[in-house]
């Protein structure tokens, strides 16, 4: 199937219309749906939790890629898994026991991802590669959509590609992905691209935007 996969982030969707928005992006070519969970503690913003994942689950069939920008993580893994998450990604910086967290995500029946903030080196995954199905490279500082891509992250993508070799681990890029920045990270080895503002621009309540064109442009 087509690579790179495109995972629109609902952080940039119309919050008053999540069901319709998710149906629209799925119908118009989204490979995954990226759900940005923020707790106002690990990141300076608050979004939504398991109830929203459960609500969206009823509207789409495709992969729900849940990005937990929360600390602690472990107490909430079960609730997100029960709500219908397919992939649960925890931040390497969210606590001292990443290996245990990743085991708990898989034990809950989900694919396990680890997200790396911009300052966190690729080597942070060196000793958990057997525990993960995905590494998410933050190409912005987490908390908000619509920020600018951090070019210094491109070498980190290449380093991860080298470390991962032929292991079945996705390299996901998250933040500031546009038609201009996407080729840089795909060339470096990324295979899943999260995009919020680049996909949802132009939409509003009751009037989904040109999502298909925005998705295909990336």
Instruction: Report DSSP letters for 128-156, one per residue.
Output: -GGG-SEEEEESS-TT-SSPPP-GGGHHH
CA–CA separation, 115 and 95 (whole Å): 12
Helices 18-27 and 50-57: crossing angle in degrees, nearest 10, is 50
- Shortest distance in whole angstroms from residue 199 CB to ligand DX5: 8
34 lies in the binding site for ligand DX5 (CB under 6 A): yes
Of 65, 82, 174, 191, the catalytic one is 174
Distance of CA 2 to the CA centre of its chain: 18
Q: Which of 142, 203, 208, 209 binds ligand DX5 (CB under 6 A)?
A: 142
Q: Shortest distance, CB of residue 150 to ligand DX5, whole angstroms? A: 11
State in angstroms the smallest separation of the CB of 130 from ligand DX5.
Answer: 25
* Interacting span for ligand DX5 (CB under 6 A) from 23-31, 96-104, 158-166, 168-176: 168-176
Which residues make up the interface to ligand DX5 (CB under 6 A)? 9, 11-12, 34, 36, 67, 69, 140, 142-143, 145-147, 174-177, 194-198
By the criterion CB under 5 A, which residues form the site for Zn ion? 36, 67, 174
């Amino acid at each position: 199937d087509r690579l790179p996969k495109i995972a629109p982030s609902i952080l940039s969707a119309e919050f008053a219309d999540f069901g319709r928005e998710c149906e629209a992006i799925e119908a118009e070519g989204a490979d995954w749906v990226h759900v940005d969970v923020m707790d106002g503690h690990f990141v300076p913003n608050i979004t939504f939790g398991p109830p929203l994942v459960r609500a969206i689950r009823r509207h789409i069939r495709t992969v729900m890629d849940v990005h937990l920008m929360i600390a602690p993580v472990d107490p909430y893994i079960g609730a997100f898994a029960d709500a219908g998450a397919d992939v649960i990604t925890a931040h390497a910086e969210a606590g001292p026991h990443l290996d245990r967290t990743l085991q708990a995500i898989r034990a809950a029946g989900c694919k396990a991802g680890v997200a790396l903030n911009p300052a966190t080196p690729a080597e942070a995954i060196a000793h958990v590669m057997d525990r993960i199905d995905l590494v998410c490279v933050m190409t912005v500082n987490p908390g908000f959509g619509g920020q600018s891509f951090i070019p210094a992250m491109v070498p980190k993508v290449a380093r991860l590609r080298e470390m991962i070799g032929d292991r079945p681990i996705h390299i996901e890029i998250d933040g500031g992905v546009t038609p201009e920045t996407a080729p840089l990270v795909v060339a470096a080895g990324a295979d899943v691209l999260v995009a919020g503002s680049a996909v949802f621009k132009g939409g509003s309540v009751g009037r989904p935007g040109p999502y298909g064109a925005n998705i295909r442009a990336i």
